[in-house]
Structure 1
């Protein structure tokens, strides 16, 4: 059993990391961080730099309470598929993802990665706002 979260260079990704750490501590299960932060996807190296501080914050939150594993995804990995696969490999209790705020029209489209994770994951998915 574990909690799986993607390391994504966005405010929603940072919120998901913090919530996943809290969830892992609460459940007393390992935290599996899937490093899907890629410069070509992020577009802003400042966001990638801030991920290091978020990971440090997560390590401080969980301390030695639960194990933390960082899984590096391949550069060309499909984000949704990678999270689902890692969750299956580690028999995850849950996956934690961040969702963006959307306009009234944009609410019709959840986002392809989020939608695929919600529909295809074999475990519950916790969504958090940035």
Structure 2
């Protein structure tokens, strides 16, 4: 089995990475780490640099998880890139990190996570960043 994790170097991305690593260990799966963004160049700070990708890879390999890293640049369609990778790589699970949203923000349609949740051909594990209120 292969698990796809949508990774950006943010607390949400780190939460997704942690959850994907735990699932991979539990299921004996490998991980496809996909780093992409709405931006069209690597100057967008949501694109992970080589040090951030190396650190993510190390975290997973220390758990005994095989990992493949891909970066998609330029499409601007994060959900589309995740869904495309899920289909092409025949993954069995997608893991996404969610950011906190205001009540009004939750009413707005079109978020990346919402599109992936609705259109994914496989189960999606959506994780949020723990806060002191979640303890």
TM range (shorter): 0.7 to 0.9
1:17-41 residue CA offsets vs partner (Å, 9 max, x unmatched): 1111111111111111112266444
Match of 1:59 in 2: 61
Other structure's SS at 2:103 match: coil
- For 2:133, the equivalent position in structure 1 comes to none
How far does the alpha carbon of each residue in 1:42-93 deviate from its partner, in whole angstroms, 9 at most, with x for none? 26x9x755554333222212x2xx4211122133352111111111122211
- Tell me whether 1:22 sits opposite 2:22 in the alignment: yes
Could you list the runs of 5+ residues in structure 2 that have no partner in the other structure?
130-135
What does residue range 77-96 of structure 1 map to in structure 2 within 5 Å?
77-96=76-95
Structure with the higher helix share, 1 or 2: 1
TM-score, normalised via structure 2 length: 0.78
Partners of 2:102 and 2:78 in 1: how far apart? 23
Greater relative contact order (CA < 8 Å, ≥ 6 in sequence): 1
Give the gaps of 5 or more residues in structure 1: none
Counterpart of 1:72 in structure 2 is 71
Q: Deviations over 1:1-26 (max 9, x none)?
A: 31001221211011001111111111
Rounded Cα–Cα distance in structure 2 between residues aligned with 1:27 and 1:89? 21
